[in-house]
């Protein structure tokens, strides 16, 4: 039996476009004489559709699309993810389902049993879990068909009471197929591979796993669909962050490849780079936007965002605005100009000092002789935000936010100033990660000027200002933040890493107090296992235990 895995980029809610993309893939697989083509979880509507699932019109459109796709399944069968109505008056209205279509008809519908309700997932809000499981039969072969999370109930402390494969294995299937919508996070693929290997070895069955690609606002899907044999050996892995259709042949438990594509070896930095580029590109194309604007300060954060945006959208579609004030250094302006020269993107220089002076004059009767402080610093940042948003409104640009994760974590940013934007490109990269990604971009030639990489970070909002005046060295800060946010360590555990106790208390207090700012920041492109936003949901006005510190020492799944 020839099996084609279709790794496609879907658009949430754009059922017509998704349907046409699926039909084209079916026709392409027919030309390769495939017997079966497999698509990803909720392929028909895109993942995650969120509250669109509560619309009867939306579900009806999905049903109509299934009928349209079924007509094309004459000489080929299809496995396709889509929502399906629950006809039982009990329980939720929908199932997350996999359709098996053969001979132009829906032959079987398999419901997802395990519904993740943690981290970025919220499936139990919409779907009813499966109550009955069965294999599908095709060309004399029994297929154990599961949907994403259905294979993840493993380990010493499993999250769910029962594993679907423990039920399906009783029918003695010949192979497993898993359709997924598994978001990208650096290092997550190793965990994914481990889970698939575990299932192959446990049930002594090969597996065909298909994942989608593309970005859906914050969530980025890396694809990397894969096939393992019954011994847990990886036969092949499809490309990351790219659409592809790959044909395999399943024959007497053996798996053969037909014209395999061999993706390049992926490093952690190359994957993060490709994820962010895809995240920007899909945000713009799927939203109908074309042109981006950002404030370019001469610092490393805006330089990285500008480089990524130029690669994603084309230099002609990126406008960098240099907005010097009286505190901006000459080298910052030169560094920014060197960057736009290297990138070839468009730019304008708009000094903001006149607007800052106007605000200072307007507020003088109220501020009186009070000393210069954060109020005057933030006026500069907000004048810049007003400037770029005026250009956005006038010329149709979409503002890119340039805040990094270290700043967002401790509240080192200005609401309605440098925290403004439609999408936060590097909001899930700590400052040390920003430097690493810049080095990756410069691996073949200097794109981001060397001086941007070596100078001390500064917001340049007062004379001689440096980030180090307010924050510890980023290497130490980011270690504390990573242990607290990603690893959910308690303050005692972090102090035990030989980090100064007073510093740990100070930083964690800053993190907890900055939640009101983060809640107002733009959506963040997610590249880590614990991004701000969908991944980490904390109360704004909640009282934190242990004197403003949180203790996550009990490991949570």
CA dihedral 61→65→67→68, nearest 10 degrees, is 140
Is 148 noted as a catalytic residue in this protein? yes
404 closest CA partner among 439, 430, 432: 430
Tell me the C-alpha distance between 184 and 187, whole Å: 9
Residues in the chain, total: 557
Tell me the C-alpha distance between 396 and 35, whole Å: 47
Q: What angle do CA 141, 144, 7 make, to 5 degrees?
A: 95
Tell me the C-alpha distance between 479 and 459, whole Å: 22
- In DSSP terms, which residues pair with 98 in a beta bridge? 81, 110
Question: Which of these is catalytic: 2, 41, 62, 460?
Answer: 41
Q: What is the largest CA-CA distance in the chain?
A: 87
Phi, psi of 429 (to 5 degrees): -115, 120
136 closest CA partner among 108, 111, 171, 99: 108
Question: Which of these is catalytic: 73, 78, 135, 148?
Answer: 148
Tell me the C-alpha distance between 549 and 447, whole Å: 41
Is 201 noted as a catalytic residue in this protein? no
Is 326 noted as a catalytic residue in this protein? no
Question: Which of these is catalytic: 112, 286, 405, 489?
Answer: 112
Positive or negative torsion for Cα 356, 359, 365, 368: negative
Tell me the C-alpha distance between 430 and 450, whole Å: 20
Buried b (16+ CB within 10 A) or exposed e, 349-365: ebebeebbeeeeeeeee
Helix, strand, or coil (residue 160):
coil
Tell me the C-alpha distance between 103 and 494, whole Å: 60
Tell me the C-alpha distance between 422 and 400, whole Å: 6
Q: Which residues are catalytic?
A: 41, 112, 148
């Amino acid at each position: 039996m020839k099996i084609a895995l279709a790794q496609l980029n879907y658009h949430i809610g754009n059922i017509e476009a998704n349907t046409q993309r699926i039909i084209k893939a079916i026709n392409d697989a027919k030309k390769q004489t495939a017997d079966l083509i497999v698509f990803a979880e909720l392929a028909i509507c895109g993942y995650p559709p969120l509250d669109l699932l509560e619309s009867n019109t939306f579900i009806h459109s999905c049903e109509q699309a299934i009928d349209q796709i079924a007509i094309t399944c004459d000489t080929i069968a299809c496995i396709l993810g889509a929502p399906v109505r629950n006809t039982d008056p009990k329980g939720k209205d929908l199932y997350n389902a996999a359709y098996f279509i053969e001979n132009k008809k829906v032959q079987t519908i398999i419901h997802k049993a395990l519904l993740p309700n943690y981290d970025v997932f919220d499936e139990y809000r919409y779907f009813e879990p499966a109550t009955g499981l069965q294999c599908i039969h095709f060309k004399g072969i029994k297929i154990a068909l599961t949907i994403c999370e259905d294979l993840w109930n493993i380990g010493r402390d499993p999250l769910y009471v029962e594993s679907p494969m423990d039920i399906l294995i009783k029918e003695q299937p010949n192979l497993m197929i898993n359709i997924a919508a598994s978001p990208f996070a650096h290092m997550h693929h190793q965990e994914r591979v481990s889970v698939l290997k575990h299932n192959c070895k446990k049930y002594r069955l090969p597996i065909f796993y298909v994942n989608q690609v593309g970005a859906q606002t914050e969530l980025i899907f890396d694809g990397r669909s894969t096939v393992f044999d019954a011994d847990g050996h990886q036969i092949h892995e499809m490309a990351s962050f790219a659409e592809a259709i790959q044909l395999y042949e399943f024959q007497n438990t053996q798996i053969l490849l037909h014209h395999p594509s061999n993706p390049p070896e992926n490093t952690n930095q190359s994957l993060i780079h490709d994820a962010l580029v895809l995240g920007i590109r899909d945000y713009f194309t799927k939203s109908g936007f074309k042109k981006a604007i950002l404030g370019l300060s001469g610092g490393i954060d805006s330089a990285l965002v500008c480089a990524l945006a130029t690669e994603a959208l084309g230099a002609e579609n990126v406008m960098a605005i240099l907005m010097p004030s009286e505190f901006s250094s000459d080298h910052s302006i030169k560094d920014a100009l060197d960057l736009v020269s290297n990138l070839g993107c468009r730019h304008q220089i708009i000094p903001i000092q006149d607007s800052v002076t106007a605000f200072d004059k307007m507020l003088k009767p109220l501020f009186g002789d009070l000393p210069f402080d954060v109020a005057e610093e933030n006026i500069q940042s907000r004048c810049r935000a007003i400037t770029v948003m005026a250009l956005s409104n006038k010329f149709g640009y979409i503002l890119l936010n340039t805040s990094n994760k270290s700043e967002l974590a401790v509240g080192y940013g200005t609401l309605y100033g440098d925290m403004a934007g439609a999408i936060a490109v590097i909001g899930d990269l700590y400052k040390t990660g920003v430097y690493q990604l810049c080095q990756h971009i410069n691996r073949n030639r200097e794109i981001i000027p060397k001086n941007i990489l070596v100078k001390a970070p500064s917001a340049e909002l007062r004379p001689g200002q440096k980030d180090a005046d307010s924050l510890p060295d980023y290497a130490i800060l980011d270690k504390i933040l990573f242990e607290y946010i990603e690893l959910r360590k308690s303050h005692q555990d972090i102090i035990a890493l030989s980090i100064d106790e007073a510093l740990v208390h100070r930083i964690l207090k800053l993190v907890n107090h900055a939640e009101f700012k983060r809640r107002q920041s733009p959506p963040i492109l997610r590249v880590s296992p614990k991004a701000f936003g969908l991944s980490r949901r904390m109360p704004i006005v909640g009282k934190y235990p242990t004197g403003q510190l949180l203790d996550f020492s009990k490991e949570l799944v």
